Structure 1
Amino acid sequence: MSPQGRRLGISPRELRRQAIDAALADAGIGRELVDTCICFGVQPEDLRYAGLSPRASFALNSGGASPALSVVVAAGLIATGQADRVLSVYGEAFTGAAPRLEPNHGVAGRSDIGGYSYGYPYLYGLVGPGAVYAMAARRYMEVHGATSEDLAAVAVVERAYGSVRPGAVGYGRPITVADHQASRMIVDPLRLLDCSRPTDGGVAIVITSAERAADCAGSPVAVLGAGCGHNIANWWDGTMDERLGAAPDAARRAYAEAGVGPEDISVAQLYAPFTIATLMQLEEYGFCGEGEAPAFVRDGHTGPAGKLPTNTGGGQHSGFYATGFTPLSEGVLQVRGQAPTNQVPDAELCLVSGSGGNGGVHGSWAHVSLVLGRPR
């Protein structure tokens, strides 16, 4: 990883180059051995700037699911002999110049406001991911009797993790439930302290076969299982806000491929830019029953002494926001036993999730599940 934080004053391209340098040094391989690059967004100058000369390079875009999906794509390329060593690279400087949001005037090049539109519902005023997650939160609260204080409990745990992690956006600043309740409303029922904040940073990973990984300098982490799912079917049956996408496909496939169940997972790193996403995924992944996630969090199970430490670097809420690379990077560190703080003892199996890339309808997230572990 490059440095992660707000207003770093470093260009996105340089952040990506720093992450590439760090990843190659960690693996102990030279640039000439990278034969495939996967990037997020089209970055035509990155290969030249980073001194890379792969056989293949392409962009992958499935929103916050992209980093975990890049691992699945890389595995396919390696399995079919199309690649030996794949470099997956991300880097953005979100807190530089403020984005200019253009309304839909129908003018060429200004069809909508890009990723903030969330597709078709934009026509009716639904703008931004906060509004999308707020609808999911409101439904969850109405169906299961959950409260804003239940969302606050998630925020408190993740800020506690971030408050002791140097470089995290929440470093040195733990919060209480009262702090959460006093924070201003953003999109009802989500308050300011339910929401993640954009940060600057780059992340890169090297994906290769188990045999080649054994010869690398760094400690390899095995991808024991993977699964993909998509929520677009929720549009057709009218259940857009009922799940994040882990169920019914992604989680089941990842567990089956790894030969494990939720009871075997040591630590979880969940894609959760808003607190409601943590609650919903705890249930979808089978860590607790439907409607039981608030009690699961209140009872301390996602904390450092719990049965399932979750988002141990502070997550996207209180750590940093690098889309799906936030949970993926912390999962790698935990399995390696190299987390700078909040290292979970004997973190043999880590569940990593990624969500995003709506299919033109709110709540229609793509979802990818990974089970990471030590090489077997």
Structure 2
Amino acid sequence: MKSGRIAIVGMGVTKQGRGLGVTEVELRRQALELALLDAGLERDAIDGYIHASHEREDLRYLGLSPNFSWPVQTGGATASATFVMAAGAILSGQAEMVACAYAMAPSSGGMPGFSAPMSLGSLGYGYPAQVGMIGAASAHALHARWHMDHYGTTSEHMGAVAVQLRNHALNRPDAMTYGKPITLEDHQSSPMVVDPFHMLDCCRDTDGGAVFIVTSAERAKTMAATHPVYILGAGMGHNIAKWHERDVYAHHDNIAPAAARAFAQAGVSLADIDTAQFYDPFTISIIMQLEHYGFCKPGQGGPFVADGGIALDGAIPANTGGGQISGFYAAGFTPIIEAMKQLRGEAGATQVKDARLALASGHGLNGGVQNTWTHGTLILGAEA
């Protein structure tokens, strides 16, 4: 992907929360309406559709007639993948205006892409389910324990992540925990979920939808109503490589190839990034991504956060909307939503001053065994 050739010209985000009582397809329809309004487009402008799910989409309900409708699912890295696919479709002449759509309504009718709400199929994480290893928390706890054993990372370090994300979220009306501060003591006293994770180390599913409209940079320049954000670089990596090397737990993901490709395409360095929006299912996820991207040295992620490294005035303001742990869970779309808001100057009380470049990561869906996650890196810019 040549830097700056692809632009995001519309974003629609529905209300995010618990118990909204709205179906997934209706959430996507609402988000589509908002995205079209944001881009100043009519429905018939959408000639490509990518849906973050295992399942087909009911295009009749959405009122769309695109050249293609592709379901895609790679867990929390799906968001990154949909933008890569949209860019490929546009650059290969398959479409001019592609909608990337997401919705989930776990408290109003189940998880997307699975046959039954909260089915074992969605939570088994490979063959260890046969011996009782169930759920994302138990899988990610292995990363946390590895990090604690090798580097001396503590529960208090993970608690510092939770407190900092809450400090961001409590000032953001779009966050689930708006106006609800926590302390490190609150974190330490919250119930244990899976050792070493307390409840406040964990994200929780929320209902909500999001749609992004993607087109070429040339087409974006003709759209007076838009405030485009450009996809400057994108990269994917897969931790199955580390499984073959028997080093899977030391790596939250195989970030190196994803980051190298994205930064090379964008033609920027880590020092150029103004804000990072990480996929954060658990607090250890931010600690390990800070290290593997190179924002701090290996083993120093916990102290880096505890010393204010991801605060608004820190070395790299991160997850400024509260992330998925304290903001809302729109899978891998949460980081992209916040990156878009930052680059468009729409982040309110947690706006990073002069934000021009943002990193957004995605993470999820194993390669057949737990902890072999896919990773996605996007470098987004306010200018092409």
What is the TM-score with the length of structure 1 in the denominator? 0.95
Question: Using the alignment, how far apart are the partners of 1:287 and 1:123 within structure 2?
Answer: 38
Which of 300, 303, 307 is the matching residue for 1:295?
303
Q: Where does structure 1 lack aligned partners over 5 or more consecutive residues?
A: 103-107
> Which residue is equivalent to 1:252?
260
> Which residue is equivalent to 2:379?
371
Q: Which amino acid aligns with 1:4?
A: Q
> Which residue is equivalent to 1:7?
19
> Which residue is equivalent to 2:172?
165
| Bigger shift: residues 356-365 or 245-254 | 245-254
Question: Using the alignment, how far apart are the partners of 1:360 and 1:43 within structure 2?
Answer: 20
Q: Which amino acid aligns with 1:282?
A: L
Task: Say if 2:46 is the partner of 1:34.
Answer: yes
Task: Say if 2:138 is the partner of 1:126.
Answer: no
Is the CA contact 2:239–2:254 (under 8 Å) kept in the aligned structure 1?
no
Which of 45, 52, 59 is the matching residue for 2:64?
52
> Which residue is equivalent to 1:346?
354
Question: Using the alignment, how far apart are the partners of 2:22 and 2:52 within structure 1?
Answer: 18
> Which residue is equivalent to 2:229?
221
Q: Where does structure 2 lack aligned partners over 5 or more consecutive residues?
A: 1-12
Task: Say if 2:340 is the partner of 1:332.
Answer: yes
Question: Using the alignment, how far apart are the partners of 1:165 and 1:55 within structure 2?
Answer: 38
Question: Using the alignment, how far apart are the partners of 1:247 and 1:89 within structure 2?
Answer: 25
> Which residue is equivalent to 1:72?
84
Which of 120, 126, 134 is the matching residue for 1:113?
120
Is the CA contact 2:238–2:374 (under 8 Å) kept in the aligned structure 1?
yes
* TM-superposition CA deviations, 1:25-59 (whole Å, max 9, x none): 11111111111100022554531111111010010
Question: Using the alignment, how far apart are the partners of 1:369 and 1:239 within structure 2?
Answer: 21
Matches within 5 A, 1:155-194: 155-194=162-201
Question: Using the alignment, how far apart are the partners of 2:124 and 2:382 within structure 1?
Answer: 40
Q: Which amino acid aligns with 1:313?
A: G
> Which residue is equivalent to 2:148?
141
> Which residue is equivalent to 2:321?
313
Question: Using the alignment, how far apart are the partners of 1:260 and 1:314 within structure 2?
Answer: 26
Q: Which amino acid aligns with 2:376?
A: V
Deviation at 1:340, TM superposition (A): 3.0
Is the CA contact 2:238–2:373 (under 8 Å) kept in the aligned structure 1?
yes
1:357 match: secondary structure: strand
Question: Using the alignment, how far apart are the partners of 1:192 and 1:285 within structure 2?
Answer: 26
Deviation at 1:372, TM superposition (A): 0.5
Question: Using the alignment, how far apart are the partners of 2:217 and 2:109 within structure 1?
Answer: 42
Deviation at 1:214, TM superposition (A): 1.8
Is the CA contact 1:63–1:357 (under 8 Å) kept in the aligned structure 2?
yes
Which of 249, 253, 259 is the matching residue for 1:241?
249
Deviation at 1:344, TM superposition (A): 0.5
* TM-superposition CA deviations, 1:210-249 (whole Å, max 9, x none): 0111223220001111111000112212112111225320
Is the CA contact 2:359–2:380 (under 8 Å) kept in the aligned structure 1?
yes
Is the CA contact 1:229–1:250 (under 8 Å) kept in the aligned structure 2?
yes
Q: Which amino acid aligns with 2:256?
A: P
Aligned-CA RMSD value: 1.8
> Which residue is equivalent to 1:263?
271
Which of 346, 350, 365 is the matching residue for 1:357?
365
Deviation at 1:273, TM superposition (A): 0.9
* TM-superposition CA deviations, 1:310-335 (whole Å, max 9, x none): 00000000000010000011101101
| Bigger shift: residues 128-137 or 337-346 | 337-346
> Which residue is equivalent to 2:10?
none
> Which residue is equivalent to 2:95?
83
Deviation at 1:341, TM superposition (A): 2.9
Aligned length: 368
* TM-superposition CA deviations, 1:142-162 (whole Å, max 9, x none): 000010000000000001111
Question: Using the alignment, how far apart are the partners of 1:44 and 1:257 within structure 2?
Answer: 32
Deviation at 1:2, TM superposition (A): 0.7
Question: Using the alignment, how far apart are the partners of 1:341 and 1:7 within structure 2?
Answer: 27
| Bigger shift: residues 340-349 or 184-193 | 340-349
| Bigger shift: residues 343-352 or 7-16 | 7-16
2:376 match: secondary structure: strand
Q: Which amino acid aligns with 1:334?
A: Q
Is the CA contact 2:23–2:109 (under 8 Å) kept in the aligned structure 1?
no
1:16 match: secondary structure: helix
2:100 match: secondary structure: strand
